[in-house]
Amino acid sequence: MQDYIISGTAADGKLRVFMADTTDMVREASRVHNLTAIASVALGRTLTAAALMSKTLKGEKDIITIQVKGSGPIEGIVVVADSKSNVRGYVYNPQVDNIFTDEGRLDIASAVGKPGYLNIIKDLGLKEPYVGYVNLVSGEIAEDLSCYFYYSEQIPTIVSLGVQVDSDESIINSGGFFIQVMPDADEGIIDDLEKRIKTIPPVSELLKNEKAEDILNVILEGLSPKVTEMGQCKYLCNCSRDRMEAGLVSLGKDEINDIINEQHHAELVCHFCNEKYQFTEQDLKDIVERL
């Protein structure tokens, strides 16, 4: 089954909910970047978060970017999503060594590392993009996003993100959910939900046997959850030779001439999909001529 996101409401519209199965997306990212297990989990959680947040975008060309910069060995994470829930991303150190907790679980918090910060950049077609910033509270990604929503957007939000990795470091499944409390909701509802979620297995465990909509019914039992929309999400890079050429043009004549004189060609690699684009010496000379 293809990856998908469901949007919905609960508690007579006082809760807004998003749930996603992102297994194929994270498998593709892990394959493209040749990630270690811990890098797959860190990037996978962030990809899932971006897919979920893409459902809040209104404009056709709106884009959301999540940046995580920590002091741990993974160094940083960048993920971008568009309004159609096409998501792409990378980690700074894809071959970071796996780190484990005393309980034997992958230690994402140590890999990301504190101190650090999380940025959310929303390009909504205005003169300036919206930028939200919070310090990392855990490095686990989900808790950091909850903090972002509370302090930057004033929306109490429960965030759960999970990636399950097999012993051979392949991705078993991936997914997550947001539950957001609307302004007219009872203040105690978020506390009740947090207590309830602590009693159920992690979302990556639930996805082994349950569909996303069934998981929401379990989480929101008694709160009359309603699915209002369902759509696909996927890992998709929008790079192209023209975009790469535009990057070369932005360097200016002098720097391109330096490349011609020193290297006689240029190879540009996309951070998001590792696609390589070759520009011969004549290609570079043609660009300089046009400038």
124-146 pLDDT, tens per residue?
888 889 999 999 999 999 999 99
Considering the domain architecture, whether residues 217 and 247 belong to the same structural domain is answered as no
Decide if pLDDT at 1 tops 70.
Answer: no
Report the domain count for the chain: 2
Considering the domain architecture, whether residues 229 and 246 belong to the same structural domain is answered as no
As a whole-number percent, the residues of the chain with pLDDT over 90 amount to 75
Query: How would residue 201 be classed by pLDDT, with cut points 50, 70 and 90?
Result: confident
Taking only the tens place, the pLDDT of each residue in 47-76 is 999 999 999 999 999 999 999 999 999 999
Taking only the tens place, the pLDDT of each residue in 146-175 is 999 999 999 999 999 999 999 999 999 999
Q: Tokens for 103?
A: 């309980």
Considering the domain architecture, whether residues 231 and 245 belong to the same structural domain is answered as no
Decide if pLDDT at 185 tops 80.
Answer: no
Q: At 28, which CATH number?
A: 3.55.30.10
Q: At 257, which CATH number?
A: 3.90.1280.10
**End-of-domain residue from the set 192, 217, 235:** 235
Q: Which pLDDT score, from 0 to 100, does residue 267 have? A: 93
Q: Tokens for 141?
A: 């990604």
Edge-to-edge order in the sheet of strand 157-165: 157-165, 171-181, 15-21, 4-10, 226-232
pTM: 0.93
Q: Which pLDDT score, from 0 to 100, does residue 207 have? A: 86
Considering the domain architecture, whether residues 130 and 187 belong to the same structural domain is answered as yes
How high does pLDDT run on average in the chain? 93
**End-of-domain residue from the set 210, 235, 260:** 235
Considering the domain architecture, whether residues 213 and 285 belong to the same structural domain is answered as no
Considering the domain architecture, whether residues 146 and 277 belong to the same structural domain is answered as no
Range of the domain at 88: 4-235
Decide if pLDDT at 188 tops 80.
Answer: no
Considering the domain architecture, whether residues 180 and 285 belong to the same structural domain is answered as no
Considering the domain architecture, whether residues 218 and 253 belong to the same structural domain is answered as no
Considering the domain architecture, whether residues 222 and 84 belong to the same structural domain is answered as yes
